[in-house]
């Protein structure tokens, strides 16, 4: 029996041809074209999808993406609307939903990132660029020699940050080093204005103006730079007249009145800083050495210093090998003040002498004002604070508690709320 079911050869060939044509009509057009390409030697592998099949598959994928994007948009729509800018975006005002419909989640995310980039700004210094995407109010900076403090407003909440300090504006490359300390603390905030109290700005006026200009250029916000003593004064006295007496590692007094001002001491450990922590520590070490040589009375400070530096080390090598001898000597000041509280005569004499020196400094800066705000690490010692307050009282001055700190003063100066201190301020926009 023949395989063609008994048909004549010509009729069998026609039947087979008609069957093949029917199968081709039943197959997708892309598949038919693929087989035709193979027959013509087009090189496409057997069964590979043609352009129509690829378009169909792409349409299916786009439909699935639209479905997922619409679900995500319903869940996060409120948050997205709250974060959008009020001005229309570029590109003819196309909305996020339109882009999601056309390109799915990846496209919507790309538009969101472009909008955020346009709403942000880049804070560049040197070879580094910081993208700052959060709007905030006033940025207050307290730049000291060992520590840089910042108080910002991020998403409506106050934030405090700390970083390394700078050697002072009067030092070599002082402006560049100050920027190195300040700029990283502003990395994700966009302040409306900046107030900086920088160590050394009282006498390095050219450098202070240069720092204000550099900050304004880097942040695109008005910047006000002054001395850290000025910001501490403004914060402690709430922008009013009076004297600020600082007793820490160093010592300085600033008196500000309606018509005049005066700064006293602050000349550094080698030339001044009388009554400061470094001065007290130095006098304590000297007392120990005098007692060892038989030139002065015995003191408990001898044993305390041995515990601090070790029995095998000499005070000479302890101080001489230090990178910052003044700071090192200031670490001995609390022990001297504790010895005074215990009644050691040598320590008491050192404490009272320091209090008298600080009283004289405050009186010289008062300019007729009787109000003195105390500031600095030494004033947190109860016994020493009482001694300084007593020394001020004998000179007709009154010690008052500080109302704020240097960060408060920096914010006041940046916002123009301290007119008495404006004479010390360098501004740039």
pLDDT in tens, the chain (429 residues): 444 444 455 555 555 665 565 555 555 554 445 454 444 444 444 445 555 556 666 766 776 676 666 555 444 444 333 333 333 333 434 444 443 444 455 554 544 444 444 344 444 455 554 444 455 689 999 998 888 999 987 777 788 999 998 988 988 899 999 999 999 998 877 889 999 999 889 889 999 999 999 999 988 999 999 999 999 999 999 999 999 999 988 899 999 988 889 999 988 888 999 999 999 999 999 999 999 999 999 999 998 898 888 777 788 888 887 778 888 899 999 999 999 999 999 999 999 999 999 999 999 999 888 899 998 889 999 999 999 999 999 999 999 989 999 999 999 999 999 999 999 999 999
CATH topology for 242-402 is Nucleotidyltransferase; domain 5 (3.30.420)
pTM score of the predicted model:
0.64
Predicted local distance difference test score (pLDDT) of residue 371: 93
State the Cα–Cα distance between residues 179 and 401, nearest whole angstrom.
32
State the Cα–Cα distance between residues 387 and 352, nearest whole angstrom.
7
Q: How many residues does the chain have?
A: 429
The CA–CA distances, whole Å, from 218 to 32, 38, 102, 193 equal 64, 64, 38, 12
Instruction: Name residue, tokens 């995310």.
Output: 109
Which pair of structure tokens corresponds to residue 82? Answer: 């709250």
Indicate the domain borders of the chain.
95-132, 134-236, 242-402
State the Cα–Cα distance between residues 130 and 53, nearest whole angstrom.
47
Superfamily the domain 134-236 falls into:
ATPase, nucleotide binding domain (3.30.420.40)
Do 223 and 428 touch, CB atoms closer than 8 A? Answer: yes
The partner residues of 188 in beta bridges, in order of sequence, read none
Do 169 and 200 touch, CB atoms closer than 8 A? Answer: yes
The partner residues of 129 in beta bridges, in order of sequence, read 124
Whether 134-236 shares its CATH topology with 242-402 is answered: yes
């Amino acid at each position: 029996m023949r395989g063609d079911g008994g048909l004549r050869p010509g009729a069998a060939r026609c039947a087979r041809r008609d069957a093949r044509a029917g199968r081709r009509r039943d197959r997708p057009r892309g598949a038919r074209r693929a087989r035709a390409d193979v027959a013509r030697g087009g090189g496409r592998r057997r069964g590979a999808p043609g352009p129509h099949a690829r378009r169909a598959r792409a349409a299916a994928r786009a439909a699935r993406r639209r479905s997922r994007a619409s679900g995500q948009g319903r869940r996060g729509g409120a948050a997205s609307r709250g974060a959008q800018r009020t001005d229309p975006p570029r590109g003819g005002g196309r909305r996020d939903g339109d882009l999601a419909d056309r390109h799915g989640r990846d496209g919507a995310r790309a538009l969101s990132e472009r909008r955020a980039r346009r709403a942000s700004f880049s804070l560049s210094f040197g070879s580094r660029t910081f993208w700052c995407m959060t709007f905030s109010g006033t940025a207050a900076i307290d730049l000291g020699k060992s520590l840089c403090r910042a108080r910002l407003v991020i998403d409506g909440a106050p934030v405090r940050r700390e970083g390394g300090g700078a050697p002072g504006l009067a030092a070599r490359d002082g402006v560049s080093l100050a920027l190195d300390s300040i700029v990283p603390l502003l990395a994700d905030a966009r302040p409306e204005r900046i107030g900086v109290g920088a160590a050394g700005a009282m006498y390095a006026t050219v450098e202070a103006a240069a720092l204000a200009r550099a900050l304004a250029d880097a942040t695109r916000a008005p910047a006000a730079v002054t001395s850290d003593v000025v910001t501490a004064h403004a914060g402690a006295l709430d922008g009013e007249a009076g004297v600020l007496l600082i007793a820490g590692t160093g010592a300085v007094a600033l008196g500000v009145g309606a018509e005049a001002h005066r700064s006293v001491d602050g000349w550094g450990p080698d030339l001044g800083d009388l009554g400061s922590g470094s001065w007290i520590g130095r006098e304590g070490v000297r007392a120990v050495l005098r007692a060892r040589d038989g030139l002065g009375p015995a003191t408990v400070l001898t044993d305390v210093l041995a515990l601090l530096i070790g029995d095998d080390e000499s005070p000479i090598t302890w101080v001489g090998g230090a990178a910052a001898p003044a700071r090192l000597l200031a670490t001995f000041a609390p022990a001297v003040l504790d010895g005074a509280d215990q009644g050691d005569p040598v320590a008491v004499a050192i404490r009272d002498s320091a209090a008298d020196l600080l009283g004289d400094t405050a009186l010289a800066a008062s300019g007729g004002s009787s109000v003195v705000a105390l500031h600095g690490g030494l004033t947190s010692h109860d016994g020493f604070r009482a001694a300084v307050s007593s020394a001020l009282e004998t000179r007709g001055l009154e010690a008052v508690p500080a109302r704020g700190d240097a960060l408060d003063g920096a914010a006041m100066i940046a916002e123009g709320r301290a007119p008495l201190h404006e004479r010390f301020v360098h501004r740039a926009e």
